[in-house]
Amino acid sequence: MMDSIKSRVAHYELLEFLGAGAMGEAHKALDLRLGREVAIKFVTSAAVIINSDRRLIEEARAAARVNHPNIATVYDLNQENGKLYIVMEYVEGRSLSTRLEEGPLSLEEAIDISIRIADALNAAHASGLIHCDLKPANVMLCRTGIKVLDFGLAKLTSIEDKGRLCDEGHELVLSNSADTTSLESESEGDGVTGTLAYMSPEQLRAASLDARTDLFSAGVLIYEMVAGRRPFEADRKRGLIGSILNGEPPPMSAFREDTPLELERIVRKALALEEYSLSRSVLSSVLRNGEALLLEDASQDPSFSQEASVIQLQLKSVLAVPLVFKQRPVGAIYIENSTQAAAFDESDRLLLELASRLAVFYLHQARLLPVELGRSSRIFFDSSKASREIVGRDPAIGKLLEKVSRLADSMATVLIEGESGSGKELVARALHYQSSRADRPFVAINCAAIPDSLFESELFGYEKGAFTGALERRAGRLEQANGGTLFLDEVNELAYPLQAKLLRFLQSNEFDRLGGKESTRVDVRVVAAASKNLKSLSEEGRFQDALFYRLNVVPLRLPPLRERKSDIPLLVDWFLEKFARVYGVTLRCDPEVYDCLIEYSFPGNVRELENIIHRLVALAEHDSIRLGDLPAEVLGVETQRVSVARDPYERLLKRPLKDLEDLRNRKEAVDRIFSERERELIDRVINECGGSITRAAQQLGVHRITLHKMLNRTKS
C-alpha cells in the first residue's frame, strides 16, 4: 500500500483497502458530500506519466458518459499531491476470477454472463471507449447481474520504464526495447498495459487498438468460463506470447462435450480464428510428408482426434493425396465424409493418386500457356462464392448477374437501387469478387448508420489532434479500401453538405483527412446502393444533381422479393439448409408452407424471409416445418378459416379423378390431415391454458364434454 495515501482525499474518506496491481491500488471510500460508498483507484507514479492532463480528462469524461447497467460508473477524476485518482461506483459482490477458481461455469450461467459483457462492450464502444484490460478480475458478479470495472484505465496509462518485458503481479507491462523488437510499437514511446493471458495480438505488438481488442479478450473469457481453462496456455511467458500471436487453441468441445456449435463459432470469431471448411491438420501432414493419407475414422485416430478442425467438422472418413511436382508437394486433393467411418478404401486412394498425377500434368501445362487470363484462379473461386449467395432463377436476377459479370472489371461507378433487405450488398460483393480487385479490400459503410457529425472522419479519416479525442492519426474507409472497392450503402441518407465532399472525391480521386493539410490520392472503385429513388430525391432538391449523375453511371435495379415469387421456394431451401447446418438438425418444409410463403408480400424482402426461416429452424419441434409454425403476419387472419384460394390441397382437389377408389383415397387423406390439424390446435390451446381442459374448452368455444370427445376421436 502506498504510504503517502492518507485516510482522506478531498471529500472522500478511505474505509478499506481493496487490492493493488501494476496500475495502482484500490480503496473502498465514503463520499462525504453525497453520503454514498464509492471505489477509488490511485494510479501509481510508476504507471502513469502525468504530462497529458487533457487526454486523461477527455478519456475519463468518455467513461463517465457511458450509462449502462453492466458497467461500473465513473464519478470523478482528480489529483492529490501529484497522484492521479479515479472515483468509481463501488460494486458489492465477487469477481469472476474468484468464481472461476471453483471450476467451469454451467452453460446457462456462462452464456448469460457473456451476453451481459457483450452488451457492456457494445455500449462502451458506441461511445468510443475501449477497455484494453478485460479479464475475470475486472468482471464483478453482483446481485443485479454483472458489472465490468475499470473501463478506459488501460488507456490512461503509459510506461516510464521502457527497457524491459516484465511481470508485475498478474499484470504484464510491454514496452519498446531492443530485446523485444517483434513487439515494438510503431508509435514511438507508446507503451501498452494489460494482463498477458487476455491480451490481443494487437496489444502484444503494441499496434493501434480498436474494439477488436476487447472482443478478443471477451473470447478468452468465454472460453475459460465454458472450458475451465484459457485457450492459450504455456509454461513460460515467451511461450504464451507465441501462442497468442500464432497459436491455434483446441475447441472448447475438447474439454466440454456439450458445448454448442454456435457458441464455438462465436468464440472462434472473437479470437479472430478461421472457420474450418476442411481439416488443415490433415492437409498439413500430407503436404509435409508428401504422401497420401487415408483415415477410416479421424475422430478416433490418435494423431488427429484432438485437432480443432477434426472436432469442429466432426470428421469421420478422410482421404487426401498430394499433388507432387518435381518431387515437391504443391497442393493436394482432399475428400471427406462426416457421417460414415471407413467410407474410403485402398481402391479410392489408388484412383485419387492417379487423378493427382493427371492434375499435376494439366496444371503444369496451364502454367506454360502464354495467355493472360486477367485474373487468378483464387479470384475465380472467390467470385463463385460471392455469386452462390445470390439465389434465384427469375429472369430479372439472371439479367442482373449477367450485367455484374460484364461490369466486374470496369472502373465505372455502379448504383444499385432496391428496397431494404433485397440483397444490394451481395450484388456489390459479387462485383468486387469477380473483378481483378478481388485480392484487395472490400470495405462497406452504411451512410444511414453513422451520425452526420462523425461521417466525414469515418470516410476520410483524421489527423492526430484534429479534434478533442483524436489521439492519433486514423485512416478512413477510403484509405482502407485503397486498391479495392468501397461500398456506400443507403447513400440516399447522406446529409446534403457531405454530398459535396463525396462528389469532390469522385471527381478527383483525392480527399483531405480531417485536420490534414495535404490531399491524399487513392485507387478505389465506388459502388453505391440506395433504397429510395435518387432521381426523385434529386428532383426534390434533397440530393445533389451532380452527385446523382456521378453515381448513376451504371444503374442496377434489384427487384423486391414480391416481384420474383418463383424464387421464394429456392430461397426457403437455401436458408433452411444454411440454418439447419448451424443448429445441427435435418429439416424439411411441408408443401403448404411454400404455398403460404409465396402468397405473402414480404415487405422486408429477402432479409425478412431469412429471419423467418432462422426463427423456424431455431424453434423447430418436429422434423418438418408445418403451416401452423409460420408467424401470424405470414399466415394472415384468414388462415384460421381455409379458403380454396389459399388451400394447400387445391392442387389435389382440382386434379381429375381416376375412379371411385381414387376418390375414397383422397377423402381419407384429407380427413386424416384435418384430424391431425385439429389435434394440433387442441394440444396448443391446452398447453396455453396450462393443461386445463375446462379453460381450453372455453377458449375453443365448445363444452368440456365435447372437447373430451374430440380428444378421444383424434387420439393418435
Residue-wise pLDDT for 526-549, tens only, equals 999 999 999 999 988 899 999 999
Confidence (pLDDT) at 257: 87
Looking at residue 490, its pLDDT comes to 92
Question: Which tens digit of pLDDT belongs to each residue from 636-652?
Answer: 644 444 444 444 455 55
Q: Assess whether pLDDT exceeds 50 at residue 373.
A: no
| Cβ contacts of 351-355, under 8 Å, gap ≥ 24 | 352/292, 352/319, 352/321, 353/292, 353/321, 355/321
**Claim to verify: residue 56 and residue 134 sit in the same structural domain:** no
pLDDT at 388 over 70: no
Answer with the residue of higher pLDDT: 619 or 386: 619
Compute the chain's Rg from CA coordinates: 31
Q: Clarify whether residues 671 and 649 are in a common domain.
A: no
Q: Are 514 and 457 in contact (CB under 8 A)?
A: yes
What span, in angstroms and rounded, lies between the C-alpha atoms of 220 and 232? 8
- Residue 26 sits at the vertex; the CA angle it makes with 34 and 75, to the nearest 5 degrees, is 35
Residues written for the chain? 716
Strands laid side by side in the 83-89 sheet: 8-9, 12-21, 24-31, 36-43, 83-89, 74-80
Whether 457 maps to a domain, the answer reads yes
Domain final residue pick, 306, 337, 368: 368
User: Residue 672 pLDDT > 70, yes or no?
Assistant: yes
In this prediction the pTM is: 0.40
Both 236 and 293 in one domain: the answer is no
| Region 57-69 average pLDDT | 76
Residue from 603, 585, 584, 599 nearest 421 by CA:
603
Instruction: Report how far residue 281's alpha carbon sits from residue 644's, in angstroms, rounded to the nearest whole number.
Output: 58
Residue 296 belongs to some domain of the structure: yes
Tell me: do 456 and 528 sit in the same domain: yes
Same domain, 446 and 542: yes
Task: Tell me how many domains the chain contains.
Answer: 6
CATH number of residue 284's parent domain: 3.30.450.40
Among 48, 75, 93, where does a domain finish? Answer: 93
pLDDT tens-digit map of 448-476 = 888 887 888 889 888 888 777 778 888 88
Q: Is 44 part of any domain?
A: yes
Residue 276: band (very low, low, confident or very high) from pLDDT cuts 50, 70, 90? low
Angle (CA) 244-245-247 rounded to 5° is 65
Q: What pLDDT is stored for residue 162 in this prediction?
A: 29
State the burial class of residue 538 (Cβ atoms within 10 Å of its Cβ: 0-12, 13-18, 19+): middle
Are β-strands 588-589 and 624-625 bridged in parallel, bridged antiparallel, or unpaired? parallel
What is the DSSP pairing of strand 414-417 with strand 525-530?
Answer: parallel
* Dist. CA 37–CA 91, nearest whole Å: 9
pLDDT band at 193 (very low <50, low <70, confident <90, very high): low
Residue 565 forms part of a structural domain: no
> 590-639, pLDDT tens digit by residue?
888 888 898 888 989 999 999 999 999 988 888 889 888 888 888 864 44
Whose grid coordinates read 496456455?
233
CATH number at residue 17: 3.30.200.20
- How far, in Å, CA of 304 to CA of 332, rounded? 18
- Residue 150 pLDDT: 79
Could you say which DSSP state residue 629 is in? G
**Span of 150-154, 292-296, 343-347 with lowest mean pLDDT:** 150-154
Longest CA span, the chain: 103
Average pLDDT, stretch 357-373? Answer: 59
What letter represents residue 325's amino acid?
F
Of 174-188, 215-229, 442-456, 471-485, the range with the lowest mean pLDDT is 174-188
Per-residue pLDDT at 375: 32
Residue 20 pLDDT > 80, yes or no?
no
- Write the DSSP assignment of 128-191 as a string of letters: T---S---GGGEEEETTEEEE--TTTGGG---S--S--EEETTEEEE---GGGGGG--SSTT--
Q: Is the dihedral of CA 66, 67, 70, 74 positive or negative?
A: positive
Q: Does residue 235 lie in a domain region? A: yes
- In order of 251, 280, 301, 304, 608, the CA distances from 307 in angstroms are 8, 9, 10, 5, 38
Residue 446 pairs in a beta bridge with: 489
Q: 307 and 182 in one domain?
A: no
488427429: which residue's cell?
Answer: 304
Q: Please indicate, yes or no, whether residues 139 and 258 belong to a single structural domain of this protein.
A: yes
The DSSP 8-state label assigned to residue 514 in this structure reads: B
Report the CATH number that the domain containing residue 255 is assigned in CATH.
Answer: 1.10.510.10
pLDDT for 502 beyond 50: yes
CA dihedral sign of residues 498, 503, 506, 510: negative
Is residue 85 helix, strand or coil? Answer: strand
Query: Residue 649 has what pLDDT?
Result: 52
- C-beta of residue 551 within 8 angstroms of C-beta of residue 534: yes
Are 668 and 627 contained in the same domain? no
Angle between helices 693-700 and 704-713 (to 10 degrees): 90
Q: Considering the chain, what is the average pLDDT of its residues? A: 79
Chain Cα centroid distance, residue 37: 39
Q: Is residue 49 part of a domain?
A: yes
pLDDT of residue 167: 32
Rounded Cα distance, 33 and 27, in Å: 18
Across 229-233, 660-664, 693-697, which has the greatest mean pLDDT? 229-233
Same domain, 338 and 263: no
Q: Is 206 a residue whose pLDDT tops 90?
A: no
**How much is the average pLDDT of 220-245?**
87
- Whether residue 158 is found in the same domain as residue 299: no
Q: What is the C-alpha to C-alpha distance for residues 461 and 471, in angstroms, rounded to an integer?
A: 13
Say which CATH number the domain at 629 has: 1.10.8.60
* Last residue in a domain, options 242, 270, 298: 270
More confident residue, 45 or 450: 450
87 with 104, same domain? no
Task: Kindly tell me if the per-residue pLDDT of 505 is higher than 50.
Answer: yes
Q: Find the CATH number of the domain harbouring 706.
A: 1.10.10.60
Do 164 and 239 sit in the same domain of this protein? yes
**What pLDDT does residue 161 have?**
31
**pLDDT value of residue 102:** 92
With pLDDT > 70 as the criterion, what percentage of the chain qualifies? 82
Give the pLDDT confidence score for residue 295 in this predicted structure. Answer: 92
Q: Does 700 map to a domain? A: yes
Segment 429-444 mean pLDDT = 89
Residue 335 placed within a domain: yes
Q: Are 615 and 604 in contact (CB under 8 A)?
A: no
Its domain, for residue 291, covers 280-368
